[in-house]
Amino acid sequence: MAEKSLMKGNEALAEAALRAGCKCFFGYPITPQTEIAAYLSKRMPKVGGVFLQAESEVAAINMVYGCAGSGIRCMTSSSSPGISLKSEGISYIAGADLPCVIIDVMRGGPGLGGIQPSQADYYQITKGVGHGDYHIIVLAPSTVQEMADCVTRAFDLADKYRMPAVVLADGLLGQMMEPVAFDDAEIVMSDASGKPWAANGHKNSREHNIINSLYLQAPELEQKIRARYERYAKIEENETLAVADYCDDADIVVVAYGSTARLAKSAVDEARKQGIKAGVFRPVTLYPYPVKELNDAVKSAKKLLTVEMSMGQMIDDVKLAINCSKPVEFFGRTGGVIPAPAEILAKIKEMGGNE
Amino acid sequence: MTHKKLTVVTGHYGSGKTNLSVNIALDIAESGEKCTVIDLDIVNPYFRTADFRGLFDKRGIDIFAPVYANTNLDIPSLNIPLESLLKSGTHIVIDVGGDDEGAKALGRFAPLINATADKDVLYVINKYRYLTKEPEEAAQVMREIETSGSVLCTGIVNNSTLGAQTTEDDVRGSFGFAEKVSELTGLPISATCAIESAMPEEAPAPYTVKRYVRTAWEQD
């Protein structure tokens, strides 16, 4: 690893993308993720890549659709309201079995909402974003280094399974600064090699490839979707990722992702100092949800507590994952308000964590 | 570091201008002088000087901030009576936004700043910030800021930090970088900033700072 640099979360996401060979970035500014576009506008021309500010979020995601079809690694980024605008395009990309990476640095909603951090788009992102029977891969980092690592992983998974992958962060992660290290490997821009399906020009050397999501014959569309769900089953089997801290003997396991997991970890550290047996479970993949890992982590737990910067969305997946075998309580702040570790600790105590 | 009547804090995006501005303002207030902070950052939505309004209130420090983040406006407006503040005799600390984009807001006040003799225009550098690791890059950003803000810098502040994880060796490892920036720009090193536990004995113009700009999980 090279020496460490101090980077904003948004900058680390951007730098990691071009280091993953992302040759084309199509974006549109929106707080709190604009640094991604600003950074790539400076860096992309220096490494032989393309930075393009589109006329809208809708245009940007459709540029990604076209670029992904040519087999080149490409990316777009936005924040909550912008992701809503991109949802149609994401559905088309999933329907055409194309790989791409989408970054969502969440802010308060609904509507224009606010510019402060939020996790209120969990339902939106993990349940598919757009219309139709499909999934997208969702990775949720909680440090600036992990933001960089998740971008690399997102590109690899997107290519491996030919589907969109999202790195889901929030404004706090996007705006904060922490040390990051990248390896010293030379930056190599991607091309269509290893992608025989790519529509990248063939000079009559082979049959032409077709990128399409329109299937008017119902049995054919059903067959396409079923084939996709066979891939999803493999993803759910092989690609889950989670981190469990102090869960082995915990009476109460706090489940949280992203920056909220760090607030929860602070609360759990303090709880342990006070002799309370609390643990924290942090899903890194939100789709596929780490069902097996969560069940392993809550073996000794009497109760679970889900903490989110929302009114409670991931809590549904927590309950489903453990099949409601234990009580799952909730604590959250929303609208851009960040839950304080002391508030989380108070909730742990209220749940009987100090008995 | 002795504090002039007017201190303008400029630097690369994320070099630590806000943390330095908060430290300087609290120092001035501590010494019994009147202090006014001007948050000129029209770029950054989070981690702003204006976030310290509560702390400043307690220490009797006035703050002027653009009507922007934490309000219901998303286009900043600058309503800052710099001329009357300069005449009032208060010490003034101006926290400027990052890079040349952030320094644009300075241009409007440049005639007043340039006409003030008792001032420091500090250029904050951080060897560990990704795109200003090379002295040449740091010197280039300074020239861009000067051009955009129509104000000339008077000193370099070496604020090389890796955040909470900064060690004494990290700070020591930045001395050569700071000297080279000083040489390239022809400006003196006005201060070497570090938290107490990371301040090397031999640091030129040492200025021990506290970390006020922190995330929620770092709060006491």
Full DSSP string of A54-91: -SSHHHHHHHHHHHHHTT--EEEEE-HHHHHHHHHHHH
pLDDT in tens, A28-85: 999 999 999 999 999 999 999 999 999 999 999 999 999 999 999 999 999 999 999 9
Give A32: exposed, middle or buried? Use CB within 10 Å, 0-12, 13-18, 19+: buried
Fold of A242-349: Rossmann fold (3.40.50)
Tell whether A179 is within 8 A of chain B (Cβ): yes
Residue A206: which residues within 8 A CB-CB, separation 6 or more?
none
What is the rounded distance in angstroms from the CA atom of residue A341 to the CA atom of residue A246?
Answer: 17
User: Which pLDDT score is estimated for A311?
Assistant: 98
ipTM of the complex: 0.89
| Subunit contact B69:A8, Cβ cutoff 8 A | no
| Subunit contact B46:A265, Cβ cutoff 8 A | no
| Subunit contact A115:B45, Cβ cutoff 8 A | yes
pLDDT in tens, A189-204: 999 999 999 999 988 9
Residue A289: which residues within 8 A CB-CB, separation 6 or more?
A126, A240, A283, A317, A321
Boundaries of every domain in chain B: 6-218
User: Which pLDDT score is estimated for A110?
Assistant: 97
B68 to chain A: nearest residue by CA? A115
Cα angle B159-A262-A184, degrees, rounded to a multiple of 5: 55
In chain B, the N- to C-terminal Cα span, in Å, equals: 27
Other Cβ atoms within 10 Å of A286 Cβ, number: 21
What is the rounded distance in angstroms from the CA atom of residue B36 to the CA atom of residue B85?
Answer: 8
Q: Which option is the CATH number for B6-218: 3.40.50.300, 3.90.600.10, 3.40.50.10860, 3.40.50.1820?
A: 3.40.50.300
Helix (H) or strand (E) holding A173: helix A171-175
Which pLDDT band, with edges at 50, 70 and 90, does A128 fall under?
Answer: confident
**Is residue A106 within 8 Å of A120, Cβ to Cβ?**
yes
Boundaries of every domain in chain A: 5-198+228-236, 242-349
Tell whether A115 is within 8 A of chain B (Cβ): yes
Query: Given a cut of 80, is residue A355 above it in pLDDT?
Result: no
Other Cβ atoms within 10 Å of A327 Cβ, number: 12
| Subunit contact A177:B165, Cβ cutoff 8 A | no
pLDDT in tens, A266-284: 999 999 999 999 999 999 9
**Is residue B209 within 8 Å of B193, Cβ to Cβ?**
yes
Mean pLDDT of A304-319: 98
Q: Which residue matches tokens 């700009």?
A: B213
Q: Which of residues 97-156 of B touch A (CB under 8 A)?
A: 126, 128-131, 133
Mean pLDDT of A110-135: 95
Residues of chain A positioned with their CB less than 8 A from the CB of B69: 115
Q: Which residue matches tokens 């489940």?
A: A255
Give the residue from A316, A333, A335 showing the smallest Cα distance to A127. Answer: A316
User: Mean pLDDT of successive 10-residue segments in chain B (220 residues)?
Assistant: 95 92 97 95 80 92 79 71 95 92 92 96 95 93 96 98 93 97 98 96 96 81
The residue of B124, B213, B215 whose CB has the most chain A CBs within 10 angstroms, and thus the best one to mutate to test that interface, is B215
Residue A313: which residues within 8 A CB-CB, separation 6 or more?
A119, A120, A122, A123
A&B contacts, CB < 8 Å: 64
Phi-psi region for residue B3, left (φ > 0), alpha (ψ -120 to 50) or beta? beta
Task: Specify the DSSP class assigned to residue B196.
Answer: G
Give A170: exposed, middle or buried? Use CB within 10 Å, 0-12, 13-18, 19+: buried
Tell whether A84 is within 8 A of chain B (Cβ): no
The residue of A177, A182, A245, A337 whose CB has the most chain B CBs within 10 angstroms, and thus the best one to mutate to test that interface, is A177
Question: How would you label B181-215 residue by residue, b for 16+ Cβ within 10 Å and e otherwise?
Answer: bbebbebebbbbbbbeebbbeebebebebeebbeb
What pairs with residue B117 in β-bridges?
none
Give the residue from B155, B4, B8 showing the smallest Cα distance to B93. Answer: B8
Q: What percent of chain A has pLDDT over 70?
A: 99
- On average, the pLDDT of chain A sits at 96
What is the rounded distance in angstroms from the CA atom of residue B141 to the CA atom of residue A227?
Answer: 53
What is the rounded distance in angstroms from the CA atom of residue B12 to the CA atom of residue A8?
Answer: 12
Q: At what angle do helices A34-43 and A9-19 cross, to 10 degrees?
A: 40
Mean pLDDT of A124-136: 95
How near does any CA of chain A get to the CA of B201, in Å? 23
User: Which pLDDT score is estimated for B49?
Assistant: 82
B71 to chain A: nearest residue by CA? A114
Other Cβ atoms within 10 Å of B78 Cβ, number: 17
- The encoded tokens of residue B213 equal 């700009």
Task: Specify the DSSP class assigned to residue B12.
Answer: S
The residue of A1, A5, A41, A309 whose CB has the most chain B CBs within 10 angstroms, and thus the best one to mutate to test that interface, is A5
Fold of A5-198+228-236: Rossmann fold (3.40.50)
Tell whether B84 is within 8 A of chain A (Cβ): no
- The encoded tokens of residue A164 equal 């969109």
Query: Given a cut of 60, is residue A1 above it in pLDDT?
Result: no
Residue A342: which residues within 8 A CB-CB, separation 6 or more?
A267
What is the rounded distance in angstroms from the CA atom of residue A347 to the CA atom of residue A331?
Answer: 7
